[in-house]
Each structure stands twice: as structure tokens, then as C-alpha cells.
Structure 1
Amino acid sequence: MVARFKDLVLDAKDHHKLADWWCAAMGYVRRDELEPPEDGWLRPHDWPVPIVDPSGAGPLIWVQPVPDRKVVKNRMHIDVFGSTDELVGLGAILLRACGDDIEWDVLADPEGNEFCVFAPR
């Protein structure tokens, strides 16, 4: 084995706002809220924001600040089980609805990062 999965990283113009959006969408929390540092240290505002699944089932996601906005299609994306209507209600944009050729919806988060939504099992 040459490599092993570690974390997932999302680029964001407003990394705090996008971290909060993904927390609301997936039931994640900011890692610093779940595991506050014992010495009271606070993560600098301009540092990436780590968000985690409080149950421990999902991967750690870093929402990283970048100076530019997304302009082209993602080469890699996230697949989730969920409700397209609820995600759109939170601010996602429906890019392509499921149909004859696909069994999932393609959405974009508030900053344009594409992700696919599959019906819950």
C-alpha cells in the first residue's frame, strides 16, 4: 500500500459559513466544539475549520479558506444519502435531477461545490 485515506478537504471562499452549512446538512459539528482543547486555545479565524461526525462514523472534513471562487466542475465530489428537498431548503442548488440515466440528484453547496444525493436506504 502506497497511501491510505486520511481526511476530506473542501475549499471555500467563506470557510466558516460553509463549515456551518455542511454541519447543518450532515449533522456534523466543529471538532473544536466536540473536543475543546484543555488549555483554552482557540483556533485562529483564518485557519481551516475541521468538522466531524459526532457519532464517529463519517470522515473528518476540513473546510479550508481559499482566495478564489470555484469556477469549474469538481474533479472529485462527495456522495451523500439524504433529502434533496431538505438540502435545497438549507441553501443547496439542484443542478441535475435524477432521471432515466441517473438514480441520484446532483446538487451544489452554497459555494458551488458539487455533490450527489442518493435516496436514504
Structure 2
Amino acid sequence: MPARFKDLALDARDHHALADWWCQAIGYVRRTNGGEERPAEWPVPIEDPAGHGPLIWLNPVPEEKTVKNRMHLDVVGDTAELLALGATLVRRRGDDIYWDVLADPEGNEFCVFAPRD
């Protein structure tokens, strides 16, 4: 095996604001560094407080997103609530797809699947 999955990373112009947005959207929290402050310019790690989801790093970059993501997150959730938090609708579910495609406040696309009972 040449590699194994470690973490996810999202690029962001305002990595602190986007980390906070994703924490609110998916119930993650900022990973603490044993109470030690991280420099503001460093990437921000967020994690699932229950320990089930992957660690996500929000990495600062100088450029805005300009093209479609080749890799994206899939989440189970409520599209209307995510839109109310500031996501934008990219593509509504329809005959050919059974999920909505949204974008976070910096344009990173993600798919939203309806919860199953």
C-alpha cells in the first residue's frame, strides 16, 4: 500500500471565517492545540467532536476559487438550512441526480443528501 487516507484540506482566502462556517454547518469544532494559540496565518484544523468524521484543514491561500472542484465533500443535511447559513445553490436535485449541489461562502462545492429515516 503506497498511501493511506489522512485528512481533508480546503483552501480559503479567509480560512478563519470559512472554518467557522464549516463548524456551524456540520457540527465540527476547532481542534485545540492543548490550549496553545496557533498563529493566525497558520491553517485551521476542525474536527468532529464525536470523533467520527475526518480532520479538515482550512488552508490560507491568496487566490479566489476560479474553476469547478475536482474533489468535494458529500454531507447529509438540510439544503434550506445550509442556504440560510450562507451556502449558495449550484444545482438542484432532479431527474438525473438525487442530491443538491451547493457551494460554501468561498465557492467550494459540496453535495447535500437528504437524511434517511
Q: Which consecutive unaligned segments of at least 5 residues does structure 1 have? A: none
1:52-75 deviation line (CA, Å, top 9, x unaligned)? 000000000000000000000001
How far does residue 41 in structure 1 lie from its aligned partner after superposition?
Answer: 2.4
Amino acid at match of 2:111: C
Number of the residue aligned with 2:50: 55
Number of the residue aligned with 2:87: 92
1:25-68 deviation line (CA, Å, top 9, x unaligned)? 00000001xxx51xx42100000000000000000000000000
- Percent identity, please: 72
Number of the residue aligned with 2:15: 15
After superposition, where does 1:67-106 map in structure 2 within 5 Å?
67-106=62-101
How far does residue 95 in structure 1 lie from its aligned partner after superposition?
Answer: 0.6
Number of the residue aligned with 2:103: 108
Query: How far apart, in 2, do the equivalents of 1:80 and 1:99 lie?
Result: 18
Number of the residue aligned with 1:25: 25
How far does residue 2 in structure 1 lie from its aligned partner after superposition?
Answer: 1.0
* Partner-residue secondary structure (3-state), 1:99: coil
Which consecutive aligned stretches of 4+ in structure 1 deviate over 3 angstroms post-superposition? none
Query: How far apart, in 2, do the equivalents of 1:41 and 1:23 lie?
Result: 20
Q: Which consecutive unaligned segments of at least 5 residues does structure 2 have? A: none
TM-score (norm 1): 0.94
TM-score (norm 2): 0.97
* Partner-residue secondary structure (3-state), 1:116: strand
Query: How far apart, in 2, do the equivalents of 1:60 and 1:67 lie?
Result: 23
Amino acid at match of 2:16: H
* Partner-residue secondary structure (3-state), 1:9: strand
Amino acid at match of 1:26: I
